[in-house]
Structure 1
Amino acid sequence: MSKVIRIGTRDSELALWQANTVKAQIESLGYQTELVPVKSTGDLILDKPLYELGITGIFTKTLDIAMITGQVDIAVHSMKDVPTLLPKGIVKAAVLKRAPSEDILVHKGTTDFYNTEGTIATGSLRRKAQWLHKYPTHKVEDLRGNVNTRLQKLQDNNWNGAIFAKAGLERINLTPENHEVLDWMIPAPAQGAMLVVAMENDSETREVLAKLNHEDTDICTQVERDFLRTLEGGCTAPIGAIATIKNDTIHFTGALFSLDGKQKLLVENSVPKDSFSNFGYECATNILENEGGAALMKEIRKALNPKTTNE
């Protein structure tokens, strides 16, 4: 292939790290690339929680438009930010090997507040709900911005700590000494994974990207995202999901929480690796039909979209 593959990316430090990682892998195969940084709406509007903006795929929409209009050939995303339904004409081209999927708490040097009163910051409804489920006496403040901005806001406020994705901090060498891995917190579907998308009709570029795909990560993230899509959570509902593969068996844990963290609907199951295609759907259906999930999702949608919900 003689053309230069133009890589679209958000222009934050983390997004550029991810794009440069893909750039290096493509170039190691002998192809030419060029980075094209683009600012997303999610990066520009920092004074509102994500769920209040009412845009699905807020961190990916600008790059989607750049691809559809021919400004870039591919885009690199944190997979957890990508809507489960891609825009018409755009397809999954590669899922890179997953980094750590856990969340971590960055604190001020002590966790003595765990058993008393504490204030934690996060912009994620999933993290907020799980924190309140475990620590119902605590307060959770909204925290927006890229990784660097959020770390600075933690220092500038009197919060006890803030929650981050472990992979994001590790990738740009910003993990503070004062942190604790939240191994009890179920991560966002596809957390720690990087997704490369391309135009469906660009078979030449897709053939190149297929060489970067990591099969086990691809399978696990598909199960998690199928679970998310079936629950109809989009990027906003408090939904966690993690799938792992060991000895050709997929082990899955997924949960739906109420916004205040008081309700937790959990599913845990395992299937052979070659039976993954409907696994995420089946786990979500179990929650919806047998655990009261349908009623809880109705409550969540009504609370988040009071003007548009007619139920």
Structure 2
Amino acid sequence: MSKIIRIGTRDSELALWQAKTVQSQLESLGHKTVIVPVKSTGDLVLNKPIYELGIVGVFTKTLDISMLNHDIDIAVHSFKDVPTMLPAGIVQAAVIKRGNVRDTLVFKDNEEFLSQKHAVIATGSLRRRAQWLNRFPTHTVEDIRGNVNLRLQKLEDSEHWNAAIFAAAGLGRIDKRPEEAINLNWMVPAPAQGTIMVTALEEDEEIRAICAEINHEETEICTTIERKFLNLLEGGCSAPIGALAFIKDEEINFTGILLSADGSKKIEVTRNEKLGEHHNLAQFCADYVIERGGKRLMADIKRADKKINIYSTKRMTDDQKQLFHNEVVSDSSDFAKISINRIHPSILKNEIENVIITSKNGVESLTTNYSAAELQFKNIYCVGRRTKRMIEKRIGPVKHSTNYAQDLAEHLVEFMDGTEVTYFCSSLHLDTIPTVLGENNIKVHEVEAYQTKYDGKKIDDSVEGVMFYSPSTVEAYIQKNEAKGVAFCIGTTTADEAKKYFTDVRIAKVPTVESVVELVNEFYL
């Protein structure tokens, strides 16, 4: 080729080393080249972790634009930083023989902190953070950004970091690996880590043919498997996903891993395939991870990148979270904490003609203290379908149930036999039932079956709506927060309490968590 090949690269020391490696290989084949440095967004924004920048291909985008503008002919990248889907018109042209794939721990003084309960580790990688916390859950991981030299300097200057994690290849290539360093052989590297990759314009067949001359086939096979695994999990290059494939004795050995951002959950897969029979290896391993909770884990990771817009004042199960519309980013915690009381035996010594139970907590209290045979209840009245099911499973048949306390009170006034009723209730409860019955000359014996304690927390200003399940959760919320946005309520009693503070109050069709979720989804449709 007569023209000079313009090699685009980031301008860090490591990136320039990689570009010069490609340059050397091309020039050894007789091609003329020139290096064109370009500064990326990832190099310019150093005050945020990579995974918070919100840009796909944070280190590659600027080079992509330069190539599409025909300012460069090829671009040289650290392959692990390249998105699995390249921009239209740009293709992978070559990969250079792989270097050290491992992550390296550089420590300040010694390794003693590894056996200690508390230590502080620095890394800007979500994958490294998650794997470290999975192995050392009591340690603290803090963010560190910048090129290799800058990060090494930050570690040296820090007064409280014990160590920082680097790519072994990066340290080795610019001869900056300190003596105080060890390879983390247990840590699964990023897909394509340790590999230099070259891109070119799809339409430039001459350049692509030249790049093919320096392509390393074994590295290409392994990194293709790793990146396909990443792509099938729908993970970006900053997701907590690790993958490593290597060839030994004509066999491909693969390890893949997916973790939650905090490292508390991990799904790992290993598999070997004969070289030439490996084409479904990435698919098999990705399916293995997905079938074991990977899909849900990835959904949680993606939601974590977005601002929370719905808050539930009752901790939600994973299955309940999956019911939300895609536009909903939820968080939850229990704003009302329950503790069961011991009910005195004298209360249950004789048969009780009429009993009211308005929650599953009341059932739990009774059946924790006593067996069904000891609970001599002639007529049981309750609020809620799930409370009814629990009573009939653990205690006995329910004579009548309603969805709301007001409806139950009105029914008892009209149809209940006798003039007394025993009400197993919470330490915090509305006066609806006692008031209505008292006004109609029915005596109510209140028994505090359990205690409800407020345990609210301050929530983020990005929240547009709050899910409430009882008047207590409303009160607990108001103690720590202003009444802003929409109040999504499980029933009319809860809604009545919410209306004291919120202007927009909506009520679920039926008093279940799932129905409140449906109410939220309707708001976002």
TM tier relative to shorter chain: over 0.9
The answer to whether the aligner puts 1:143 opposite 2:139 as a matched pair is: no
Q: Which residue of 2 aligns with 1:178?
A: 180
Q: Deviations over 1:56-109 (max 9, x none)?
A: 001000000000000000000000000000000101110110001000100013
Aligned to 1:132, the other structure's residue is in SS state helix
Structure-2 residue corresponding to 1:217? 219
Aligned to 1:236: 238
Distance in 1 (alpha carbons) for counterparts of 2:233 and 2:13: 32
Rounded to whole Å, the distance in 2 between the matches of 1:270 and 1:280 is: 11
Conserved? CA contact 1:93–1:197, under 8 Å: yes
Deviation at 1:129, TM superposition (A): 0.5
CA RMSD after TM alignment:
1.1
Q: CA deviation at 1:53?
A: 1.0
Residue identity matched to 2:192: A
Identify which of 264, 288, 291 aligns with 2:290: 288
Instruction: Confirm whether residue 192 of structure 1 aligns to residue 209 of structure 2.
Output: no
Larger relative contact order (Cα-Cα within 8 Å, sequence gap ≥ 6): 1
The DSSP-based 3-state class of the residue aligned with 2:245 is strand
Aligned to 1:69: 69
Q: Secondary structure at the match of 2:144?
A: coil
Structure 1 residue 278, shift from structure 2 partner: 2.7
Contact 1:219–1:276, Cα closer than 8 Å, also in 2: no
Q: CA deviation at 1:307?
A: 6.0
Q: Distance in 1 between matches of 2:305 and 2:103?
A: 24
**Equivalent residue letter for 1:129:** A
CA distance in 2, matches of 1:83, 1:276: 23
Instruction: Name 2:388's counterpart in structure 1.
Output: none
Task: Deviation per CA, 1:236-279: give whole Å up to 9, x if none.
Answer: 22000000101111100000001110111000001111123332
Which residues of structure 2 form unaligned runs of 5+?
Answer: 310-325, 329-525
Q: Report whether the alignment pairs 1:124 with 2:125.
A: yes
Task: Give secondary structure in 1 for the equivalent of 2:133.
Answer: helix
* 2:51 match: 51
Q: Among 323, 327, 333, which residue is 1:310 paired with?
A: 327
> Structure 2 counterpart of 1:310, which letter?
E
- Per-residue deviation at 1:282? 2.0
* Partner Cα distance (2:22, 2:243) in 1: 25
What corresponds to 1:25 in structure 2?
Answer: 25
**Where does residue 348 of structure 2 map in the other structure?**
none
| Identity percentage of aligned residues | 58
Q: 1:37 is matched with which residue? A: 37
SS in structure 2 at match of 1:294: helix
Give the Cα–Cα distance (whole angstroms) in 1 for the partners of residues 302 and 287 of structure 2: 18
Q: Distance in 2 between matches of 1:61 and 1:84?
A: 13
Aligned counterparts, 1:96-175, within 5 A: 96-116=96-116, 117-157=118-158, 158-175=160-177
Query: 1:36 offset after TM fit, Å?
Result: 0.3
Q: Is the 8 A contact 1:187 1:242 kept in 2?
A: yes
SS at match of 2:212: helix
Secondary structure in 1 matching 2:213: helix
Query: In 1, Cα distance between the equivalents of 2:88 and 2:183?
Result: 38
Q: Residue 249 of structure 1 aligns with which residue?
A: 251
Structure 1: runs of 5+ lacking an equivalent? none
Q: Which residue of 2 aligns with 1:260?
A: 262
Deviations 1:102-138 (A, max 9, x none): 0010001311111221000000000000000111110
**In structure 1, what is the Cα distance between the partners aligned to 2:278 and 2:65?**
32
The 2-side partners of 1:202 and 1:43 are apart by: 29
Partners of 1:306 and 1:226 lie apart in 2 by 29
* Alignment CA distance shift 1:206-1:131 (3 Å): same
Q: 2: distance between equivalents of 1:52 and 1:307?
A: 15
TM-score with structure 1 setting the length: 0.98
CA contact (8 A) 1:198 1:206 kept: yes
- In structure 2, what residue type is equivalent to 1:89? G
Aligned pairs, how many? Answer: 310
Matches of 1:177 and 1:295, distance apart in 2 = 41
Q: Distance in 1 between matches of 2:195 and 2:283?
A: 20
